[in-house]
Amino acid sequence: MQIYTPSIAEQNAAKKVTISSAKIIQKHFQKAMANFNELNVENIDWTMFLQNSEKFIEKYEFYILINCICEEEIGAAKLCQFVENRIRLQLVYDIDGNGGIFEAHLYPNIYTEKCEIAEKILETSFSKNFCKIWLIGVNSIASIDNIKKCLPLFDLSIRRAYLRYNPVQKQEGNIQNIEDEFDKLKFKMQSVAMTKRQMKELDDEH
């Protein structure tokens, strides 16, 4: 399946599409076609119609907030860039690979770079000075508890990969406690699952 971006110059973005996001794209096409077939196209105000789009935080049953938090700006730039580049890969391995019970859609932009949300939902042993949060919408035949069970492995995989490519010592060894290593670096990378209602309340507050 080829997927072209609407911007100029166009690019084929198919390599960024996961199994579950492909299902979501197909469902949106079907929904759009059904809505289009119900319209009186001769009298429609296309400007109003196209502006009346559904907000991302209203589309899905559940949401995952991927938090990258650091005390120092240099560390934030390095860690958060790595996390951003790694999210889609871990979605394929740790979320998509759960027997098809999840359909996950990564919001295309950074959800926020402000630390107010991180202050509210996560605790750290250091000051939350630099933050980036990405948002994933999830439809699931399972409950939010099933999503929460997937997140520790999802987070651990990203943390472990970061330390593998950015060893804290000259001789890279077996890291017994990755969480402790991140604390020493004054880093926090953790994902949090929420229902649509919880996500909307959080978004309204900020």
Per the CB < 8 A criterion, the answer to whether 95 and 106 are in contact is: no
Number of residues assigned to the chain: 206
Flag the least confident range among 20-29, 106-115, 122-131: 20-29
pLDDT tens per residue across span 136-150: 999 888 789 999 999
**CA gap 71, 126 in Å, rounded:** 7
pLDDT tens per residue across span 71-104: 999 889 999 999 999 998 898 888 876 666 788 8
List Cα–Cα distances, 98 to 36, 38, 65, 131, 138, in angstroms.
34, 36, 19, 29, 13
Whole-prediction pTM: 0.81
Model confidence band, residue 176 (pLDDT cutoffs 50, 70, 90):
low
The answer to whether residue 50 scores a pLDDT higher than 70 is: no
List Cα–Cα distances, 137 to 75, 98, 162, 186, in angstroms.
27, 16, 24, 28
